[in-house]
Every structure is written in C-alpha cells, then in structure tokens.
Amino acid sequence: MAQIANLPLRLSPYLSAEKIQSRVKELAREISPHFFPSSEPLIAVCVLKGSFMFYSDLIRELDGNIECEFLAVSSYSGMTSSGEVKVTLDLNRAIEGKNVLLVEDIVDTGLTMNFLIQWLKSRKPKNLKTVALLLKPDALKTKCDLDFVGFKIPNDFVVGYGLDYQGYYRNLPYIAQVQSFN
C-alpha cells in the first residue's frame, strides 16, 4: 500500500500510469473522428480542478486545432457529493456555433455532469461531446449519457491523476483506491 508523507489515507494502486496513458491514447483515437479533419477548431473544456492531468494528456493526443477553455464547479463536501452544483469559474469565450468537448475526471452521481451538459447546451454549441476518465455506474443517482468513458469502476473512493482528497494526492501519476484512514 502506498502512503504519501503523513497524509491521512492508506492507498492501494488501482489504475497504473501506463494503463491510464494507454487508455487516454485510445480515447483520443475514438474522439478525433467526431471533430477532425474539420478545419474548425475544437474547444476543449477542462472541468477544474480534478480533470487537469487527464485533460492535458488527452488534448496532446488529439489530431486537430484545439482551443483550451476551463471552468470550475463545486459539488463536493469531503468524500461525498453535496448534490448542489455551483459554477465557480466560467468560460472566457462564447461557444455558440462551436465544436465543444467537455472533459471531466470522474462521474459518480451524474448530477454535476448533467448540470454541465445542460449549462453548456444553453450556450448553443454546434456540437457538444462529453468524455470522462472514470465512471462509477453503481453511484449514479440519475441517468447520465456520456459519449466517451475511459474506465468504469466500482463505487470506491479514488485519488491520484488529478483526483484529490481535501486537496491532496492530485500529483500521483496513477489512480489509487482509498483503503482506509490512518
């Protein structure tokens, strides 16, 4: 089991860095035909903070002209979703009539992703696709239609590769399952 410094969690590696990188490349191959070889740029929207590692690896693998955008939402309190989604950072540009890819780290309840899909659709993009690195089907509280999914995982709490616990563990190059608190 891995442990970082004196942080409070006991972790067990779940998805290796190599497995993640391999799947990110596959996802890019699956996504690219939906947007390229169009000469129109793709606006790739990163949901901060958790998606930043997945986002940066994914956009480097996509074959085409990409414009980067970022938004932030808050819906968690500790290890559980509060059920209320708040936008804390909005997009810097209009997406009306544009091709948009929404990049999320993890979908568990489906509430945040559904909120973001409707919120972005209200801005009238030409084409909106979604990708999530992780999906927890057993945790879904509402139906959530995703266009692309990296991995389906059990309803376990995971950290690493951008995912955190109270701001820690984002820097792990792999995804770890939380085994216990120290």
Work out the angle between the directed axes of helices 17-31 and 52-61 (0-180°, nearest 10).
50
Distances (CA, A) of 127 to 67, 78, 87, 112, 147: 15, 34, 22, 20, 12
d(CA 62, CA 68): 12
Q: What are phi and psi of 94, to 5 degrees?
A: -75, 145
Catalytic annotation on 108? yes
- How many Cβ atoms are within 10 Å of 43's Cβ, its own excluded? 22
Which of these is catalytic: 57, 63, 90, 108?
Answer: 108
The stretches of 1-124 forming alpha helices (DSSP H) are: 17-31, 52-61, 111-121
Give me the active site residues, please.
Answer: 108
